[in-house]
Structure 1
Amino acid sequence: MQHSSPFRLDLWLQDRALRGLIRLLLWLPYRVRVPLCGWMMAQLIAPLAGYRRRVRKNLARVMPDLPPDEVRRLCRAVPDNVGRTIIELYSGAEFVAVARKTPPRGPGLAALDAAHRANRPVILVTGHFGNYDASRAALLGRGFRVGGLYRPMKNHWFNDHYVAAISRIGTPLFARGKRGLAGMVRFLRGGGMLGMVIDQHMRRGTRLRFFGHDALTALSAAELALKYDALLVPTYAIRQPDGLSFDIVVEAPIPQDTPEAMTQALNDSLEVLVRDHMDQWFWIHRRWKAPPL
């Protein structure tokens, strides 16, 4: 793919290193490569990249009373889950088979079945939790038409093969912004289910609460649901104790309200889940960057 942005040697070298590591890992059996990538991220990459420091900083902000032993555990366990997620997304059919092994469950599943029969659009919302693409893979396996909205990465070399990788999990995919807007709207109007991840800091987002602190959050999922009369449904893939399989949960649809109230309900839904599985959320994100009032 051609790109108009100027050449940056640091990003190109970063991409070459990541490509080489991913290729090496993909030579290994799935049950070996996934935990190995988790270990490498936790023990080798996280200390160099400052991920442990960021995990500590985020936990100190929102859960200052967390016991020190638990903080130390999360500084290792969170990057481990991130590493597992990355190599799973590059594992194509092997990852899809694992994600579809256990049928989805939850109070929202009947609503998805009904929407599918009625050709009614659905906005599926998840967070950077467990493996955020396992729900999409599992619901595609159930016969639903599930597309994905993704946020293009700053490193366009890495972005190109990342998008190719997640395309092997399922299509269609739509880039956030003007480039993917027209296709995304057609997909929703045709009764598709659009998967979105909304738990990252958005500079132009709305100040909502997450773990008791202000977090700038995009209202786009709720706004799309209201505009196209789509169901707004939280769904999550909870990594199981074996480190490989998932429990795919589909929660009840969020009732229609203001975009702010609906998005706060999504934040609250994710927070409940994260509190139950602290090591599965991406605490390495700079989630709380809202400027003071």
Structure 2
Amino acid sequence: MRRMQPAFDTFVAGYVRVSIWWMRLFPASWSSNIIGNLGRWFGPWFLVSKVARCNLRAAFPEKSPREIEAIVAGCWENLARMAGEFAVLDRIWDYDPANPGKGTIELVGADIMARLRDDGRPALFFTAHTGNWELNAITGEKLGVRGGVLYRAPNNQKAAEVVLAMREKTMPGLIRAGRAAGRQMAQMLEDGQHLGMLVDQHWGQGVTVQFFGRPAATNPTLARLARQFDCPVHGMRVIRLPKNRFRIEITEEVHLPRDAEGKIDVQDAMQTVSSVIEDWVREYPEQWLWLHRRWR
């Protein structure tokens, strides 16, 4: 099996390259619509959808089976649309401050980003797997906010190289999760830059928070960095709108609980952040990644 792995990795990477090439032949809306519809029709039949249904029944015990199925289908459509949009991320951004309703992007909190860009201080952003979450990383670069994002690469090394090459076209300061990530993130904040990360997935060695009324292990890196650098923390999310448009929302500073010494309390801080994300998910449940085993 190990002898076959390099050949399999090469096959997957080739498939990814061909898929990206094919999708770039069409307007972004075409690939998003076609693949999104395929995801809505066929995704609920995949075995992993059982995970989504189990998660949804526990999170929303008041919802009927029909409502649960509608959210599962919406989850697959959102994920499939993301796959179609990934190949053309460099074409999606269309934001005009003078006519905010005309382009592809609506931006709520542009004034906050301008303030963070010019104040000379580091700041942290948290986000979740909602809407097309890849657009979060593009936003900072487009608005001139220096910094980067922490990301997890695919396990397939050759496919990871293809994905990284696509991301580097639009996303600055990419930090791959791993042993060297902590040092890179600390250096970025010491330099007065800004750092964003997804914080809504299971993390076995993390702190435990309540998420939809159930204990969930959560990566505490965001809170630990905020405690170390005493810098502001903001939320950022992407909402998918009709007609292939997006609303990107940046929150004001989320004030995190502090301990008796006046330092940010890591456990309570991650609970605060998780509660914000829970509110986001409740508002647009079909746009969150229910396929992930968040509770274990």
Normalising by the residue count of structure 2, what TM-score does the alignment of the two structures yield? 0.86
Q: 1:98 to 1:38 in 2, by over 3 A?
A: farther
Aligned with 1:56: secondary structure? Answer: helix
How many residue pairs end up in the alignment? 282
Maintained 8 Å contact 1:200/1:285: yes
Task: Determine the C-alpha separation between the residues in 2 that align with 1:226 and 1:156.
Answer: 34
Task: Determine the C-alpha separation between the residues in 1 that align with 2:161 and 2:95.
Answer: 25
Aligned with 1:104: secondary structure? Answer: strand
Matched, 1:245 2:245: yes
Task: Determine the C-alpha separation between the residues in 1 that align with 2:21 and 2:42.
Answer: 18
5 Å-filtered alignment, 1:103-252, equals 103-106=106-109, 110-242=111-243, 244-252=244-252
Task: Give the structure with the larger strand fraction.
Answer: 2
Aligned-partner residue type, residue 65 of structure 1: E
Q: Which residue of 1 aligns with 2:65?
A: 68
Aligned with 2:253: secondary structure? Answer: coil
Task: Determine the C-alpha separation between the residues in 2 that align with 1:247 and 1:237.
Answer: 6
Task: Determine the C-alpha separation between the residues in 2 that align with 1:46 and 1:110.
Answer: 40
Percentage of pairs with the same residue: 23
Cα deviation, 1:207-249, whole Å, max 9, x if unaligned, reads 111111111001101111121122111111111122x211111
Q: 1:73 to 1:89 in 2, by over 3 A?
A: same
Q: Which residue of 1 aligns with 2:37?
A: 39
Q: Which residue of 1 aligns with 2:262?
A: none
Aligned-partner residue type, residue 214 of structure 1: P
Task: Determine the C-alpha separation between the residues in 1 that align with 2:236 and 2:4.
Answer: 38
Task: Determine the C-alpha separation between the residues in 2 that align with 1:114 and 1:98.
Answer: 19
Matched, 1:282 2:289: yes
Question: Which stretch has the larger CA shift, 162-171 or 214-223?
Answer: 162-171
Aligned with 1:149: secondary structure? Answer: strand
Structure 1 position 14, deviation (Å): 3.9
Task: Determine the C-alpha separation between the residues in 1 that align with 2:123 and 2:195.
Answer: 6
Cα deviation, 1:157-192, whole Å, max 9, x if unaligned, reads 221111222222221100112233333222211111
Q: Which residue of 1 aligns with 2:75?
A: 78
Match of 1:93 among 84, 90, 93: 90
Match of 1:55 among 49, 52, 56: 52
Task: Determine the C-alpha separation between the residues in 2 that align with 1:98 and 1:116.
Answer: 18
Task: Determine the C-alpha separation between the residues in 2 that align with 1:12 and 1:42.
Answer: 29
Task: Determine the C-alpha separation between the residues in 2 that align with 1:65 and 1:11.
Answer: 44
Task: Determine the C-alpha separation between the residues in 1 that align with 2:134 and 2:254.
Answer: 21
5 Å-filtered alignment, 1:6-25, equals 7=5, 9-25=7-23
Q: 1:20 to 1:51 in 2, by over 3 A?
A: farther
Aligned-partner residue type, residue 288 of structure 2: W
Task: Determine the C-alpha separation between the residues in 1 that align with 2:160 and 2:40.
Answer: 23
Aligned-partner residue type, residue 292 of structure 2: H
Aligned-partner residue type, residue 284 of structure 2: H
Cα RMSD after superposing both structures:
2.4
Structure 1 position 101, deviation (Å): 4.5
Maintained 8 Å contact 1:93/1:169: yes
